[in-house]
Chain A
């Protein structure tokens, strides 16, 4: 096997392409390296190719082009059952005609592990997900959360080094989902397993992952740790997709020294960080996070202020969400913390808003 410079990666996608119909590419030129023990999330809207990538890794889909490597070995031609990859499915896929214990014992049986050994491992896996008392039940007799735990235990019982999870928490309610998010990451770190996790829920991706790969249109738009993804999105799609975001459209007027000046479509001039604008005259989208906007600001030199009109004020408990009309954008949202001295804006009110130039990122205009 030639050394390609990625041999230290545990999971590697090299120039992987996938097409179902021979006309359109669902996955376009995917390159991804994962070190051992990483928790990586593939995040993206439906149809972005993230599930296809997971299925290629699991072996249920074959790559049209490129190579997928596991621990340095190409697995393109290895059938799924020989890959030794654990997998948790969206609907859990617990075999309904087997008891919980039989479900867990199944991967051990097909590996021809002896009966006493099997029972020990099943018990250990059940205890690991705190379901030790449920071995005799049928999946249908369990709640959604319990089924989820069993599915997790089943994917882990044969001690795979890599576990794939395909939107495993999609069917759970919010509270349970948050609890399970914590349990899954905790378990993954405790066991030191490598996890590829697919979801379309960005909160889940941000809270659970070491790194997040944001998918769109068959490509990874950005691959970064959650904080970087949120605070330093590399393009408009990522900025829009992760968290809440305000955009103002305009044209780049000047770029110099890590700053650029953008003339908004309404004529106002603002300063921004040039992220992926390269030349003057280019159209751009300026992105500002709602919580970085200040009302009636007392900001330092270089900050820009804009006139705004309050459209709507929503009380959300811990924060206030105010919708403004700013430079032609009717959906400009700001979030302020609920503090005793915080001003509650009234609809119709005219205010001035502002932000620091480094919080304002000039991105591609697509």
Chain B
């Protein structure tokens, strides 16, 4: 006789007593020690939860690092667009006020000159060119050309200043003019042995008020030289953008009151600039010299449109639209491709799913009604394709279906098809559907089989004993119970096929390719990752939407894998 069934003989608080006590009094249920029961319970469960968490932690971390994070990053790329404003900060600012009609003002060209000059020195102007090339054909070569041509503008001024005074092309005079004396002393000390970190350049006090543009440009030059090139600033003559800035400062400001280092040299330069012989070149003319595209509005409009940090442009491109100053617009008919691909992907996935159901259902039915031993043996045959490389299977279909292939040969041989009219069964939709149905069939059969094998044969017998014919028994009793298997298999096959890549790539030709092939193209060939990310995001959204719809219509509880 065990004590558990004996009467309650404890005098002290037991969990039972405490619960009874708590039931009598109102308020929160108390545990035996008087603490609220919920609190005690959650404390008792905390250890369990912690242990569970620790057990799943390795997988969780792995999934986060290798799955969730890359996906999130990829999704983010579909809207990210910082490259324009990062590379051309001044230009985008000036263009913000531009109405987008005709040409932007001279200031925009000036800003673009300085922005692109630095970008060209850093060799990042071509990257921006490729980015803008996605939106405007020709932008890439325009930017590449401009990187080389911008020097021509500055050299006009550089040459004239140099002709006036050799010192304008020497490093030291510039440093004395621009640099802080204390910094200069440190820099000279460092230059003696060039060991350790180069002291960072500091502007001389007050110089940015007298020569604002030059000071700013020189500071950028100094920073680039010290930080990126890691050269000794004392030995580097400034680049021509600084001379351009000096001309602008001298032309617009008055330096006659300046009395710091190199005052005479500066004043002489100011006199030269003021003289009528001084040759100048407007920025707009300089850009026209580089390429006439610069004095057409499209490139400026494109820069303005893509100056925000985030853009809907990639998504609009993904649905055959484009961003224009007047909002989103459909692309011209001959440039539309993605909607066609999305529709084709959905349609073909649907056809593949349907043919998998039609082919797989009878097989699963037979398998589930065979004795275990035979069923297992046949199941190996179903799974056999899994053990063969996907590429081999797909290539085998190529051999089977091509015009000089096995099937055509047989058809010609038995005289069904004339030799000169062999059927085209590969490199089109038909070939893709055939090959993918074959490859994805096991994913349909397996869940169907596992659901069907749980349907007891007594249901069928019951239906027959109640007077139902074989067909009625199947349709009214067996089939409804096998629907969860069809559902699970269909979701599996549909989602797999909607993102399938290798098979359509090999046997799809031009009419049988999927959206995933286009995504792969943008990832690996055109390197337009933003567009690839946007297409992928749309694909993901479509799958989730279909999943949601399935849940609403059929109910996701109805999906059983076994």
Contact = CB atoms under 8 A, between A and B. Distances in A.
B462 A110 contact: no
A190 interface: no
Interface stretch (B266-274, B359-367, B445-453, B465-473): B465-473
B469 A93 contact: no
Contact of A154 (B466, B468, B476): B466
Contacts of A222: none
Nearest to B466: A107
Interface string A56-88: 001110000000000000000001111111110
Contact of A86 (B461, B465, B481): B465
Contact of A111 (B456, B467, B480): B467
A84 B465 CA distance: 7
B456 A158 contact: no
Given A91-B456, A93-B459, A96-B481, A80 B465 contact: yes
Contacts of A83: 465
Nearest to A151: B462
Nearest to A106: B466
B477 interface: yes
Contact of B461 (A60, A94, A111): A60
B469 A81 contact: yes
A96 B459 CA distance: 9
Contact of B465 (A85, A91, A94, A95): A85
Contacts of B462: 87, 89, 93-95
B464 interface: yes
A179 interface: no
A106 B480 contact: no
B373 to A, nearest CB: 14
SS of B interface (majority) = helix
Contacts of B477: 95
Nearest to B465: A87
A120 B465 CA distance: 21
Contacts of A90: 458
Nearest to A89: B458
B423 interface: no
Interface in A248-297: none
Given A107-B466, A110-B472, A154-B466, A87 B461 contact: yes
B463 interface: yes
A339 interface: no
A97 interface: yes
Contact of B467 (A89, A96, A158): A158
B481 A80 contact: no
A60 B465 CA distance: 9
Given A87-B465, A154-B466, A106 B459 contact: no
B468 A106 contact: yes
Interface size range of chain B in the complex: 10 to 19
Task: Output the residue of B464, B469, B470, B473 with the most chain A CB within 10 A.
Answer: B464
Contacts of B463: 95, 106
Interface in B460-506: 461-470, 472-473, 476-477, 480-481
B458 A158 contact: no
A58 B465 contact: yes
Contacts of A110: 466-469, 472
Contact of A81 (B459, B464, B480): B464
Interface string A107-121: 100110000000000
Contacts of A107: 466-468
Contacts of B472: 110
Contacts of A95: 459, 462-463, 477, 481
A281 to B, nearest CB: 49
A82 B481 CA distance: 24
A85 B464 CA distance: 10
B385 to A, nearest CB: 33
A363 B546 CA distance: 74
A107 B469 CA distance: 11
A91 B212 CA distance: 93
A166 to B, nearest CB: 9
A126 B327 CA distance: 68
B431 to A, nearest CB: 39
Contacts of A79: 464
A93 B461 contact: yes
A81 B467 contact: yes
Given A87-B461, A89-B458, A106-B463, A97 B481 contact: yes
Contacts of A158: 466-467
B456 A80 contact: no
A85 B467 CA distance: 8
B479 to A, nearest CB: 10
A106 B461 contact: no
B456 A93 contact: yes
Contacts of B459: 93, 95
A80 B462 CA distance: 10
Nearest to B458: A93
A269 B171 CA distance: 138
B458 A81 contact: no
A81 B476 CA distance: 14
Nearest to B483: A97
A97 B433 CA distance: 34
Task: Output the residue of A81, A85, A158 with the most chain B CB within 10 A.
Answer: A81
B467 A84 contact: yes
Nearest to A157: B466
Contacts of A84: 467
B467 A91 contact: no
A280 B458 CA distance: 52
Which 8 pairs from chain A and chain B are nearest by CB?
A107-B466, A93-B462, A87-B465, A93-B458, A80-B464, A97-B480, A110-B468, A81-B464
Given A58-B461, A95-B459, 13 more contacts: A60-B464, A81-B467, A86-B466, A91-B456, A91-B458, A93-B456, A96-B481, A97-B480, A97-B481, A106-B463, A107-B468, A110-B469, A110-B472
21 contacts: A59-B464, A80-B465, A81-B464, A81-B465, A81-B468, A81-B470, A87-B461, A89-B462, A90-B458, A91-B458, A93-B458, A93-B462, A94-B462, A95-B462, A97-B480, A106-B466, A106-B476, A107-B466, A110-B472, A111-B467, A154-B466
